[in-house]
Structure 1
């Protein structure tokens, strides 16, 4: 029997453990982590996310496209077939300001995503139907929103139902410590996100760095997901509004590499509220789901996304052949989690077949 430790219980680690067990039910899998769903810590990224599916891959980035695409199909299926997952289908609309389009020298094509021909219902919104004078381009498709606390709990339950085990551990300082968690496992999957390269013994030629994000969990409801990019003077900010299936919405956000402050930026909060009420007016319309006439904030979330130069790392370590890396999702942890897990399966399948060939 092949024994595996999945190190890390964020969305990537939990999903990878599920994909491995579904591929080979005989695997003995233990998810070992310092933080689990229900914990809130700035170093534990997954609880702070929005989250939805809207791939950040460029048209040339076929590797990230392959990682992101399986998530769209999975989330649509969960929304249709399993209400326990906390996923639902909503229209996903993206607006680009005149300022942003002008900066791109009017190249509208650069704002058309790679997935336009594969997602359901993608279209460019007719200009006369865009209700905002400062918007040059709008696109929309059939998207999904994931209610993070519900979905993380769902992943835990899925792992338990499949027979995977859980073990809470102190933060490990050296990657070799992972092999002592349950007695010399055959493989360790490094899905530790922000902490991936802070562990001694883990070498990466690419730069790994946290990127600060700030979101508002509000009681107000929206009809669908809306994002607006291209605010003059605020290159590290955009607006996104995601309505949750269980009520309320997430309003974000910002993209701030190098900012390690865990305190709320109150001026950003004020800007987010102004933008949200302008571009998603039903948020403050009592005629829509009895919304308040003001944005009612339940919680301000400040978290850090685990970015890696050149995107996710999913490969066998060059030094420790028992170590498989599975980190670097950046802001795409939820949408890329299924694809990352499936790629780990491919890596492990190749490793096991090679080891059998040597025997």
Structure 2
């Protein structure tokens, strides 16, 4: 039997472990992490996500496109067949582009039409008559999904346990060699999957020529309900800000957001909170309309969350280590952890499949 240690228990680690076990039930997999679902820490990004499926891949990035395709179909399937346990539901994803944004792109609407237009279901360019805001010049819509992350992370934990994977909380690993000794059997692991996100290159023994860095995000969770997922781009004077809203299946809405590289401030930016509240009420007035799902007449904030997306320069790293044949890396997904999770997990499956096949030759 092949012993595997998955280092990191965020959405990437949990999904990768699950995909590995489904591919080969004979694998003996132990998941270990400094944080587990239920913990809240800004560096443990997974619990702070929105989360949805809205790929960040460019038209030219065919690799990331293929990675992101996998989860879209999987999430739609879970929304249809297991919505209560998974915390996933299907709801329209609407994107608006302000006059300012369209002008900054010199009226080139092609730059605002995503690569996945022919992949997702029910994609359409909105007619001007379908956009109820005078300052919005362009819009799109498609069948999207929203993931309630507390529910979904616990769902992944349960799925892993049901297939026989073991999960343990550990102290931070300071040297990657140490990870090999963390298998539940007490034996040295044959392979370690490095899915530690922001900490991936802080561990001694992990070498990477590319820079890994945090990108700060701040969101608010409100009790109010929105009609659709909504993304608005293009606010003058705020190049690193946008508006996004993700209404959760159980009620309430996540509202953000910002994109601040190398900003490690863990405290709430109260002025930013005020800005996203103003924007949310403007572009989704139903949030404070008691006639829509009995919403309160003002935004009721349950929690303000600050988290750090685990980015890597240029691209995600999913590959076998060049110097340590037992080490496989899977980190650097940035803000796309959920939408890339299944695709990245399958890439690790492919790497390990080749490894085990060659070892038997």
Question: Normalising by the residue count of structure 1, what TM-score does the alignment of the two structures yield?
Answer: 0.99
- CA distances 1:65-120 after superposition (whole Å, capped 9, x unpaired): 01111110000000000121000000000001111111111100011001001100
Query: What is the aligned counterpart of 1:339 among 325, 339, 343?
Result: 343
Instruction: Give the superposition deviation at 1:206.
Output: 1.0
Does structure 2 conserve the Cα–Cα contact (< 8 Å) formed by 1:15 and 1:337? yes
Indicate the residue corresponding to 2:302 in structure 1. Answer: 298
Indicate the residue corresponding to 2:236 in structure 1.
232
CA distance in 2, matches of 1:204, 1:269: 36
Is the 1:311–1:330 Cα contact (8 Å) retained in structure 2?
A: no
Match of 2:279 in 1: 275
1:206 equivalent in structure 2: 210
Deviations 1:2-30 (A, max 9, x none): 00000000000000000000000000000
3-state SS of paired residue (1:211): strand
Distance 1:297 1:185 in 2: 45
Measured in 1, the distance between the counterparts of 2:322 and 2:357 equals 18
CA–CA distance in 1 between the matches of 2:360 and 2:235?
A: 56
> C-alpha distance in 2, partners of 1:129/1:117?
21
Aligned to 2:247: 243
Secondary structure in 2 matching 1:274: helix
Unaligned segments of structure 1, at least 5 residues: none
Cα deviation for residue 128 of structure 1 reads: 2.4
Q: Distance in 1 between matches of 2:216 and 2:20?
A: 31
Paired residues for 1:285-324 under 5 Å? 285-324=289-328
* 1:260 and 2:260 matched: no
| 1:108 corresponds to | 109
**Which residue in 2 is equivalent to 1:65?**
65
Q: Are 1:127 and 2:128 counterparts?
A: yes
Verify: 1:25 aligned to 2:29, yes or no.
Answer: no
With normalisation by structure 2, the TM-score equals 0.98
Distance in 2 between the 1:277 and 1:327 partners?
36
Distance in 2 separating the partners of 1:189 and 1:180: 13
Which residue number in structure 2 is paired with residue 181 of structure 1?
Answer: 182
Instruction: Return the alpha-carbon distance in structure 2 between the equivalents of residues 259 and 2 of structure 1.
Output: 41
Partner of 2:37: 37
| 1:254-303 superposed Cα distances (whole Å, 9 cap, x missing partner) | 00012110000000000000000000111011000110111100000000
2:332 counterpart residue number: 328
Q: In 1, Cα distance between the equivalents of 2:202 and 2:139?
A: 41
1:92 — aligned with what? 93
Give the 5 Å matches for 1:123-162: 123-162=124-163
State the SS of the aligned residue for 1:180. coil
Q: Give the secondary structure class of the aligned counterpart of 1:158.
A: helix
Count, aligned residues: 357
Tell me, what secondary structure is at the counterpart of 1:223? coil
User: Quick one: distance in 2 between partners of 1:280 and 1:288?
Assistant: 11
Distance 1:23 1:144 in 2: 25
The alpha carbon displacement at 1:310 in A equals: 1.7
Runs of 4+ in 1 over 6 A off after TM superposition: none
Q: Does 1:13 align with 2:17?
A: no
SS for the counterpart of 2:154 is: helix
Deviates further, 202-211 or 143-152: 202-211
